[in-house]
Structure 1
Amino acid sequence: MQIAEVRAAIADAARTVQLPDGTRKLTATGYTPDAVSEPHFFTGEVAVDFDKTMGRGLDELEITCRVLVGRADDRAAQRLLDALLSGAGPASLKRAIEAARGAPGEHALGGLADDLRVERVQGYRWYEHAGVQYVGAEMIIRVFGDGRT
């Protein structure tokens, strides 16, 4: 698997969420940006477990992603973040990202990986990014794919 391509494809999938009317569209990057335009999703740290099967047949990526929402109105910001972190609904990042798994028998992320799953949400708190405070959380995504590519 090519990590940069996987990260970019996850960000592409995240952009498909439908946020409530009156909310700015979600921006997303497959890298940690210098500055964000909120609400923003980005792929952050990557841990790689090589050689899950013999012959480089399977590697596993654990990607820590962050979702940052502006805090002009604390309650509204947290409602938006809750919608993004929910397991279902039009604003659900889990639903949008896991839709990129493809149909049964297809490879995930347009052929970049064998499979993926949004594993958990953690770290729901205030984050500082480039000197600006946001309410946000982390999403852990596991991606499985051929280690030979």
Structure 2
Amino acid sequence: MRMSAIRAAIADAARTVVLPAGTAALTTTAYVPDAVTAPHFFCAEYEAQFDRAMRRALDEATLTCRVLVGRADDRAAQEILDALLEGSGPSSLKQAIEAARGAPGEYALGGLAHDLHVTRIQGYRWYEHQGTQYVGAELMIRILGKGATP
């Protein structure tokens, strides 16, 4: 699996969420940014397990993504974050990312992976990024793909 391409495709998928009226558009990056324009989704650390099937046929990765929301108004920020963390709906990151799985029988992320699944949300708390406080959470994404890359 080419993780840099997978991270870019996931960031592109996350960008399709529709936030409530009056909310700034979600910005996304495939990497940990130097500066955040809130609300912001980014792909962060990942773990990989190699050789889940013989002859480099399958690798499995768990990608940690974060979403950070500005805290000008604590309650409003948490309401925006809650909308992004819903399991379904137009503002759901889970729904937007999993839409990139493709149709049944197709590879995920335009052929970059066999499949992916947003498995859980964790770390709903205050985050400091470059000296600024944000309310945020982490999304864990399980990705399966071919071990050998072309």
Structures share fold, TM-score greater than 0.5: yes
Aligned residues: 149
Q: Deviations over 1:8-52 (max 9, x none)?
A: 100000000000111000000000000110000000001000000
TM-score by length of 1: 0.99
Please give the alpha-carbon distance, in whole angstroms, between the structure 1 residues aligned to 2:69 and 2:106: 33
Who is 1:137 aligned against?
137
Identity value in percent: 69
Match of 2:81 in 1: 81
Structure 1 moving runs of 4+ over 3 Å: none
**1:92 partnered with 2:95:** no
The two structures, once aligned, show a CA RMSD in angstroms of 0.4
Give the TM-score of the pair, scaled to structure 2.
0.99
Matched ranges for 1:1-149 at <5 A: 1-149=1-149
Unaligned runs of 5+ residues in structure 2 are: none
Distance 1:30 1:143 in 2: 15
CA distance in 2, matches of 1:43, 1:55: 29
Letter in 2 for 1:107: Y
Matched residue SS, 1:49: strand
